[in-house]
Amino acid sequence: MKKIEAIIRSSKFEEVRNALAAIGVNFFTIIDVKGYGLQKGQKMMYRGSIYDKNFIARIQLDILAENAKVDEIVKTIVHSARTGDIGDGKITVLDVAHITRIRTGETDESAI
């Protein structure tokens, strides 16, 4: 089992959600995130204040998935979240040790 953490542009959320639904992935956690990418906080001045133009609010989707589904999910997110411009985001895949569904006590792949 894997956990997919995808940081995407907020403006792409609907498109990504629809693309995931089309491959049967209707479950995820949404987290509001902020951060820096490769361009590391280039500063810009706007109305007398300094802003970091890369410090843009983004959305992180966390998805638990069985191993066999991971590649399809990652490809789907890349395809639907991509604009081609700097700052499109990043996807990380992590190993998951255990999952438990609280209601039933089911574990691991049965709990996805």
Ligand X SMILES: Nc1ncnc2c1ncn2[C@@H]1O[C@H](COP(=O)(O)OP(=O)(O)OP(=O)(O)O)[C@@H](O)[C@H]1O
33 binds ligand X (CB under 6 A): yes
90 binds ligand X (CB under 6 A): yes
Q: Which does 36 bind (CB under 5 to 8 A by kind): ligand X, Mg ion, none?
A: ligand X
Which run of H or of E encompasses 68? helix 67-81
72 binds ligand X (CB under 6 A): no
Among 10, 29, 39, 67, binds ligand X (CB under 6 A): 39
Q: Facing residues of 7 across strands?
A: 60, 90
Distance CA 1, CA 45 (A): 45
38 binds Mg ion (CB under 5 A): yes
Angle between helices 67-81 and 13-22 (to 10 degrees): 140
30 binds ligand X (CB under 6 A): no
